Amino acid sequence: MSLIRKLHCRAFISGGRKSKMENGQKKKKNKLGMRRTGFIIAFLAPTLFVFCVFYLYPIITVFVTSFCKWDYTNITSPEFFGWNDLWNNYDYIFNKYPFFWEALKNSTKWAIVGAVVQIPIATLIALALSRKVKGIKFVRIVYIIPNMISTAAMGVIFLQLYNPSYGIINPIIRLLNKDFSDSILLLKGPAFVAMTCAYIFFTGTTTLMILGNIMAVPGEIREAAMLDGASGLKQDLHITIPMIKGTLKTVSVLAATSGFLLYNEVYFLTKGAAGTYSISYVIRELAITSPRTQFGRANAVAMIQILAGMVIILVVSFVYSLSYKKEKH
């Protein structure tokens, strides 16, 4: 009996020691977890502060003042319309402002063109620049340098290209139509095409993002495909592009949203003439160009732009999710 008691005592003591060790380990883990949480909060706090002050607060202000009378008569103190007239600014934009629907249609077209046309062009250029051929590094540098120019400067450059007196576009058109002497920026239809070209072919940043991811594709995979007899085109279609689909989705969202937000090209080339208004240019016209300084109505358009931008992101994401599902099946 004494032996059994001794064994029970030892088991009890060892069990107590184990429980104490486990409790100590749990406390250490909890302390480490608290430290990690504290570190993450401390690390994110400045970013969250900047986000709230410079992004979230302005959006809330835009949203609130879109329901206010805010123009040159009360520029320092926006006045809430009241619940009965809550949608006054939106009613004016939808039903009375002459260029809103034109601008919305144009901006939507530019968003679609950005995702459907600009991304394939940028991808083809990136694939070409990723080739390991003699002199390709020099070609990459030559390609990158012009893309350091801002969109505003590109707008001015295209303005010179489209100039009817000394630009290069009109002489090309005269090869097909000898009597043509107008500026294409003043013709409804051609002006939209000219604007689209000025936006579409500025693919530098998008191309560089895609090129960076192509260069990150392991060379061993391509070499194995080459040994199996796959041509360069097959490697691109079945290896490279599938491996960079995440990047293509990101740049598609960026291209679509930048197309929807198009402003510099409109401002420098046409200022909305010949049916080329954009949503961003409407905001400028209401808030700055208008003699009434219609901040409230401009903010109503800005809210529409923000919501439409969210829809664009969701649509692009949905399209890519469908392509992922097809690949799995």
Neighbouring C-alpha atoms within 13 Å toward the C-beta of 74: 10
From 8, 219, 26, 244, select the one nearest 119 (Cα to Cα). Answer: 244
* pLDDT-based confidence at residue 8 (cuts at 50, 70, 90): very low
Radius of gyration of the chain (CA): 30
Report the DSSP pairing between strands 79-80 and 68-69: antiparallel
Rounded-to-integer distance, Cα 55 and Cα 155, Å: 28
Rounded-to-integer distance, Cα 27 and Cα 35, Å: 12
Residue pLDDT, tens place only, 258-282? 999 999 889 988 999 889 999 999 9
* pLDDT-based confidence at residue 12 (cuts at 50, 70, 90): very low
Q: What is the pTM of this model?
A: 0.82
Neighbouring C-alpha atoms within 13 Å toward the C-beta of 200: 19
| Residue 40 predicted with pLDDT over 90 | no
Determine contact, residues 68/78, Cβ cutoff 8 Å.
yes
Element (H, E) at 208: helix 204-215
Q: How far, in Å, are 89, 111, 166, 276, 281 from residue 257 at the CA level?
A: 24, 6, 34, 17, 15
- Which of the 8 DSSP states describes residue 245? H
Tokens encoding 304: 């529409």
Residue pLDDT, tens place only, 130-176? 888 888 888 888 887 777 777 778 888 888 888 888 888 888 888 88
Rounded-to-integer distance, Cα 72 and Cα 62, Å: 17
Neighbouring C-alpha atoms within 13 Å toward the C-beta of 85: 9
* pLDDT-based confidence at residue 24 (cuts at 50, 70, 90): low
- The domains of the chain are located at 2-65, 96-328
State percent of the chain over pLDDT 70.
88
CATH placement of domain 96-328: 1.10.3720.10
Q: How far, in Å, are 15, 256, 323 from residue 246 at the CA level?
A: 52, 16, 12
| Mean pLDDT score across all residues of the chain | 84
